[in-house]
Structure 1
């Protein structure tokens, strides 16, 4: 069940369409990537202001929007994204759970005579998708967005905490393994923690994000204690400024 003020299905579709209209040559996230990105922002060991994380949704390389970007378009994206960010934050805090945006891609159709050949990038994307385990394919976009957040904010990976490493490994199993080490980790996970189907994969993904949220909560909301060089002045004490009046009637107002 979604929390109050979360996006409706039609609003998720609207947000996806708005992101697709991001001015070129910027490469914006799609709505599933955005969802993963927001979770990657929320589980950091520090609170990240909207002004810092919002630009990351418009381009993977961090390029800024053009100065002449449509203000109405930008305002609508910001409004919808802010609501989803708030809903995710509340859901993790109050329930330790959330419903991720998972969009499965349709099966490839056989090429018909006269069809335009795929570009090199499109063919690479299809090959990458096909190489993943069936349970991981619908989560590829979401986890790619999550990884995008960790690239922008590497503080999480700098924490020496085995629980964080384990949760990240179980999330990144849904990305293509490139190095021998990644392939070995994936093989170990498939052997020790096999995924039956997409529902099982989604449940594990949500649990890993909830674990990360719990592991970083203390650091995220840590408040430094302020040490005073001088004793605290009582409200009925003489004001330190030397006016002769009580503190409450002078600088303590």
Structure 2
């Protein structure tokens, strides 16, 4: 990237300003900072990164919000935030996670769930399915199929922290009749996942960066945006129903 395209990293004052803008009542249910970071880590990954205009609309709530006065200022800060985050992910270093305390109390433990839910939302909303092409390649009996299966296993392992910290892993296990840990065993798993989360996000980004250009198949079913009607038929927006990140 040339120097003319390099934006300055955000200072603490810039982050504070972005938080203020995100709280502006003119924005229709924007993401919080923790959700933004989780969303972007996945939106920048995958077979194809989510285009900037789509990312901004998802984060700020609508295309109209992006075009507003508040949205334009927020978008400028978000572009800088995104560029800095992507540089960290590309370097192989784990990003410093932006997290809020549970229940909004400073003394409470950090709440990883919104960050992880936003990440998984971006995985599901990716322009190209993360798994479809690899699953198709893994169906054979040749070395290419073995490689594809290894890559699927690699992704599953690194997505596990997001799955566990949102409760998705427990739900899936119980649906398949599998036992789920509790007590100290579960607490240990949660601590390990919290520690591994930023490393997993970086490793997933670099995995897809290396994979791009290999012809990952486009998913046939159109993706659902946060502001589209929820496909479950509730009549609510997707972000207020099955796609809620809070």
Shift of the 57–175 alpha-carbon distance from structure 1 to 2, 3 Å rule, reads same
Partner of 2:41 in structure 1? 39
Q: How far has the Cα of 1:165 moved from its partner? A: 1.5
Give unmatched runs, 5+ long, in structure 2.
Answer: 1-6, 136-151, 216-246
Q: How far has the Cα of 1:211 moved from its partner? A: 2.0
Partner of 1:203 in structure 2? 195
Out of 6, 9, 18, the position equivalent to 2:21 is 18
Contact residue 150 and residue 156 of structure 1 kept, 8 A: yes
Helix, strand or coil: the match of 1:168?
Answer: helix
- Partner Cα distance (2:79, 2:65) in 1: 21
Partner of 2:73 in structure 1? 76
Partner of 1:232 in structure 2? none
User: What TM-score do the two structures reach when normalised by structure 1?
Assistant: 0.61
Partner of 1:181 in structure 2? 172
Q: Deviations over 1:56-113 (max 9, x none)?
A: 1023xxx54369x632x122111111111111111111243211211213567xxxxx
Shift of the 20–217 alpha-carbon distance from structure 1 to 2, 3 Å rule, reads same
Helix, strand or coil: the match of 1:209?
Answer: helix
Partner of 1:147 in structure 2? 120
**Structure showing the higher helix proportion among its residues:** 2
- Partner Cα distance (1:206, 1:104) in 2: 17
Partner of 1:56 in structure 2? 58
Q: Show structure 1 runs of 4+ deviating over 6 A.
A: none
Give unmatched runs, 5+ long, in structure 1.
Answer: 109-133, 224-253
Structure number, greater radius of gyration: 1
- Partner Cα distance (2:210, 2:113) in 1: 30
Partner of 2:142 in structure 1? none
- Partner Cα distance (2:75, 2:190) in 1: 37
User: What TM-score do the two structures reach when normalised by structure 2?
Assistant: 0.63
Shift of the 28–194 alpha-carbon distance from structure 1 to 2, 3 Å rule, reads same
Contact residue 163 and residue 169 of structure 2 kept, 8 A: no
- Partner Cα distance (1:157, 1:186) in 2: 25
- Partner Cα distance (1:107, 1:48) in 2: 31
- Partner Cα distance (1:196, 1:164) in 2: 19
Contact residue 58 and residue 65 of structure 1 kept, 8 A: no
Out of 93, 102, 114, the position equivalent to 2:90 is 93
Helix, strand or coil: the match of 2:75?
Answer: helix
Q: Deviations over 1:163-198 (max 9, x none)?
A: 11221122221113497424558639x84993475x
Partner of 1:248 in structure 2? none
Q: How far has the Cα of 1:150 moved from its partner? A: 1.7
Contact residue 22 and residue 58 of structure 1 kept, 8 A: no
Shift of the 185–87 alpha-carbon distance from structure 1 to 2, 3 Å rule, reads farther
Structural RMSD (CA) = 3.4
